[in-house]
Structure 1
């Protein structure tokens, strides 16, 4: 996927943190916690996922923009495809 091992580690850590936060939200719902607390934690999960997604796009942008001849699969993303990737995270 990416050649940047440090970026992969950062992305995985962010996703693991979001996973833990989401498990916490589920526990809060099951325990009947206050709606305000649940929504606050759910917003934190959403932000963590957004950050991971943006990091994936930012890190992978170079690979996405390689010339067709440089890509092992012969695929190259055009501007419209890149726009769709960014909008998917918006």
Structure 2
């Protein structure tokens, strides 16, 4: 299964309670999946560093790089979300999406 494709409309990774789904272009999906595969490799690498008792500072550096890579994925998703999902809902008269967006941004900014 493609990492961003849904198995069913009830799949919690693809739709929320309202049944809404994201609609990324194939190019964007490929970019996101490539980035996430890279992050997955970084995580495995960090695990290996810990298993080999690598110096803590070096492990922390790799963790920071992985967090930056995940933040990059989140930025791409947020941009697409704002340009498509949020814009569509505002055009449909659903102003509640702004509150939802603010909550999402707060989640991204937590450290």
Q: Same fold (TM over 0.5)?
A: yes
Give the Cα–Cα distance (whole angstroms) in 2 for the partners of residues 17 and 77 of structure 1: 35
Name 1:88's counterpart in structure 2: 107
Give the count of matched residue pairs: 86
Q: Is the 8 A contact 1:54 1:89 kept in 2?
A: no
Deviating beyond 2 angstroms after TM superposition, the runs of 4 or more aligned structure 1 residues are: 67-70
Q: Calculate the TM-score normalised by the size of structure 2.
A: 0.68
Give the Cα–Cα distance (whole angstroms) in 2 for the partners of residues 83 and 6 of structure 1: 27
Kindly report the root-mean-square deviation, in angstroms, between the aligned alpha carbons of the 2 structures.
Answer: 2.0
Q: Are residues 1:19 and 2:40 paired?
A: yes
Give the Cα–Cα distance (whole angstroms) in 1 for the partners of residues 106 and 57 of structure 2: 28
Instruction: Give the deviation of 1:39 after TM superposition.
Output: 0.3
Gapped regions of structure 2 (runs ≥ 5):
1-21
- Structure 2 vs 1, CA of residues 15 and 29 (structure 1 numbering), >3 Å: closer, same or farther? same
Instruction: Give the deviation of 1:69 after TM superposition.
Output: 8.5
Give the Cα–Cα distance (whole angstroms) in 2 for the partners of residues 82 and 23 of structure 1: 32
Give the Cα–Cα distance (whole angstroms) in 2 for the partners of residues 68 and 58 of structure 1: 15
Gapped regions of structure 1 (runs ≥ 5):
none
